Structures are given as C-alpha cells and as structure tokens.
Structure 1
Amino acid sequence: MKHIDEQIEQLKKMTQTAKNVDLARALEVSPKTIQSWKTREKIPEDIFIKAKRVAETGAITPKGYIALQLFDIEVSAGHGALVEKEEESSAMVFSERYIRHELGFNPNDIFLMPIRGDSMSPTLKNQSIVMVNRVDGFSTDGVYVFRYDGQLMVKRLQFLPGGIKVVSDNTAYEAWELSKEDLKGTDFEIIGEVVWSGQRM
C-alpha cells in the first residue's frame, strides 16, 4: 500500500468513516479533493488537525448542508495580487437547498475565496468572502474572478464589440479595456462568476 493510501486510511480511522465520500463530508472537502491528494501524493497538514478535531468533537457537516471549499489565496479588488498558490485552507457550510434552489447553482461548481482591496466597494468590501461559480468563459456582463498576466482579480466585466471593458465599482478607479488581440496574446483566464458575497458590516 502506498504511503498516501495509508494516510487516507488513517484519516478514515480518525473520523470513523469507511468511504472516501464519507471522509470528504467529515473533513468538509469535496471527494475530488481526496482524489487530488492521491494524485499529488500529499495531504495538507491542516487536514490532519481537522481530522483530530472531528475525532474529538464528532463535528460532521449536518445532513442537508454542504461544506464549500475555501481557498486561502486572496483575490484582489484593487490592482491585482500575484497568484502563488490555490491550496484549500478550510471550508464554510451552506444549505445545499439554498445553493441549488435559491441561487440555482450546482454545489460541485462552487467555491469560496476572500478578497482584499476597495476597488469593488460598495458592492464588495475589503476582506469579503465571495462565492464563485466556475465557468469556462462568460456570455453576460457581471462580476467575475479572472486571471490576467499572472494576477488574480475580481472586477465587473462588460462586453465590447472589440473586447472586454474591466470596471471597478469604486469610482476612484478608472476602467480599462482588453482588446481581442490582448486576450489572445496574454495570460487571461476566466475563473468564475461571483454569485454571492458575505462581509462584515
């Protein structure tokens, strides 16, 4: 048995689970995350800490709720933050019915990220948590998380005949444009559309 398989079995014993899907639920991650551990042959250290807490408290996501992935990288709502890693750090629990029926999205396509900066204020305040629906591209104007030239940003994107207009809701920041040529010649990728946000008052 590989070392990674032994570690997963150890996690199952700690959380008193038998299947990967049950382990994922206990640790508040997606089953795909467990598969990624096996592929990379590495499990983040905080997962063992979480498993120990589950073993001590019996804290498992209640039925009807789902733990959404929360990535520890901050998405910039200012001038952009360099992408260094996108490791999951923890999770937040939401009603599955709320996500599926109220918001209208598949929970498997949703993840959470913190943002920093004030360029999207008042829509998104500094240190807000945004819920992002993964998409391959975009067909309507809206607020999106995207990667541009090695930076991860959240901005309002608008279609133009010749490209995309990038708009900040804070009027202190000027809008800028990306032509179709710019989009083809640079590192540009739509990560997902912002569909919900949570923030302190």
Structure 2
Amino acid sequence: MANKPENELIMEIGTQIRDRRTELKLSRASLAEEVGVALSTMQAWENGEREPSASNVVRLAEALSTSAHCLITGNKIEQETQSATPPIQDVLGNDVDLEEFVFIPRYDVRAAAGYGAINDSEAPRFPMAFRRYWIKNHLNADPHHLFVITVDGSSMNGTLNDGDSILVNGADTDPKEGIYVLRVDGHLLAKLVQRIPGGLLKVSSTNSAYEPFTVDMNNQPEDFATIGRVVWFGRTI
C-alpha cells in the first residue's frame, strides 16, 4: 500500500469512512455532527476530494467504532469486525442480547429460616442474570437495590426451604405483610411479617415449631433492621 499514489490513498480512506458509516446505518449528516465538521467536509472526505487531518481521523474512528489504523491503511472493516469479540450465544447457538438482562449480585450469606445464622462475610460471590423487562414490569424494582442470598433452616418450610435462593429488594425496608429478611441480634432471618395494632410487627414462621414474636416498631431494638422484602425464590428439585 505504501506505493499507492496519494490520491488513491485518499480515495480509499473515503471509501472506508462511507462503508463503515453505511454499515452502522448512520447518515452523513449525523456523522459530520458527531465528528464536529461541516456536511460538505464529510462529503469531500467520502468522495476522496479531501484528506482528513490526523485529529479528524481519530474522531472518525471513535464515531465509527473502528480504529484509526483501519481507516488510514485501508484494511477492510470486515477484517476488524471478525477479530472482535464474538457475540454471546445461548446453548443452542442463538445470539443473546446482554442488554436484555441485568446481573444481580449473589452474596455468600445465608438468611436463616430458623433461629438465625450470624454472617461474618457479605462479599458478592457471583452475579445472577434476570430479564430487565421482568425486573421493571413485574417486580417494579430498581435492579441496583436487588441482591440474592440463600435460605438456611426449616422455619419457613413449605414456602422457603433450606438452600433456596431468594431475591431481596433492599429498597423495601418498611415492612408490611409479606416475607422479609430481618436482622435481629446479629442474625439474618427470612420471616413472615404482619403489621398489627399498636405499632407492632408480628414476625412468624410457617413451621409451627417456631414461636412467633413481635417487634415494637415505635421503639425498635438497637440491633434490629429490615434488610428488604423477598420478591422471588428459586430452588433445586
């Protein structure tokens, strides 16, 4: 390529710009605006009538999601595209759009559905994928406030079993009727809660072997906190 006439090199740069813009379905006007030049300048570049400066080549490469080297040397855009990271696929080979999913952190923490388990470490272990549409439209939740932990114990048997994964909405910390994760005396508990007259919160289990107790929400114990509402669970059968 070093032996090509200058006008041929300029024409080749213009062809690369036009082909890449077309591939990305960008209008000439929108690309010109993105790069910060007049439409007539963009037209001259694409037609090989004018050579873009080095700084403009860098701006073009950024706007076209390619490299300055590709635009300058005339390497085919397809070659660069093929060397990029391949698309994510499911087990059947179908392309997967990662934008359709949110990745919720799973913590190495067990919420006791029994008498409680002290948790010394609350570092994320790995993420779990959930569909963004489901989070937004069915849970009506902000994914930034969601996390997954594990159920430990038998007090909620039949509803939440030992080893179940639970998705918790950490933004819902005003306990009403439902299943919530509570912190009591340094323990995490997954329990049924119910508001009762007198500003009390009744905390109970589905297993009758575990006695219910109440918390005065107007005078909460020092080591009591509502961690969040359980909005989903998953289990191995």
If the TM-score is normalised by the length of the shorter chain, which range does it land in? Answer: 0.5 to 0.7
Give the counterpart of 1:116 among 152, 155, 176.
152
Give the counterpart of 2:100 among 52, 59, 64.
64
Is this contact kept in 2: 1:61–1:67, CA < 8 A?
A: no
1:86 aligned partner: 122
Distance 2:192 2:101 in 1: 30
Aligned-pair CA distance for 1:162: 4.0
Give the counterpart of 2:162 among 81, 104, 126.
126
Distance 1:124 1:112 in 2: 14
Aligned-pair CA distance for 1:102: 2.0
Q: State how 1:149-164 maps to structure 2 within 5 Å.
A: 149-160=185-196, 161-164=198-201
In structure 2, the CA distance between the partners of 1:122 and 1:76, relative to structure 1 (3 Å rule), is same
In structure 2, the CA distance between the partners of 1:61 and 1:77, relative to structure 1 (3 Å rule), is farther
Q: State how 1:1-201 maps to structure 2 within 5 Å.
A: 62-135=98-171, 137-160=173-196, 161-180=198-217, 183=220, 185-201=221-237
Aligned-pair CA distance for 1:116: 0.9
Aligned-pair CA distance for 1:182: 5.8
The two structures have a TM-score, normalised by structure 1, of 0.65
Distance 1:163 1:187 in 2: 16
Aligned-residue sequence identity (percent) comes to 31
Distance 1:118 1:142 in 2: 18
Aligned-pair CA distance for 1:85: 1.6
Gaps of 5+ in 2: 1-84, 90-95
In structure 2, the CA distance between the partners of 1:61 and 1:126, relative to structure 1 (3 Å rule), is farther
Distance 1:78 1:174 in 2: 10
CA-based RMSD of the aligned residues comes to 2.3
Gaps of 5+ in 1: 1-54
Is this contact kept in 1: 2:102–2:131, CA < 8 A?
A: yes
What SS class does the counterpart of residue 131 from structure 1 fall into? strand
Aligned-pair CA distance for 1:181: 6.7
1:48 aligned partner: none
Which protein shows a greater Rg?
2
Distance 2:183 2:232 in 1: 19
- Counterpart of 2:177, as a letter, is D
Is this contact kept in 1: 2:183–2:226, CA < 8 A?
A: yes
Distance 1:156 1:143 in 2: 4
In structure 2, the CA distance between the partners of 1:163 and 1:197, relative to structure 1 (3 Å rule), is same
What SS class does the counterpart of residue 206 from structure 2 fall into? coil
Greater strand percent: which structure?
A: 1
What SS class does the counterpart of residue 67 from structure 1 fall into? strand
- Counterpart of 2:214, as a letter, is E
Distance 2:124 2:111 in 1: 14
The two structures have a TM-score, normalised by structure 2, of 0.56
Equivalent pairs, count: 145
What SS class does the counterpart of residue 215 from structure 2 fall into? strand
Distance 1:150 1:61 in 2: 41
Aligned-pair CA distance for 1:143: 0.6
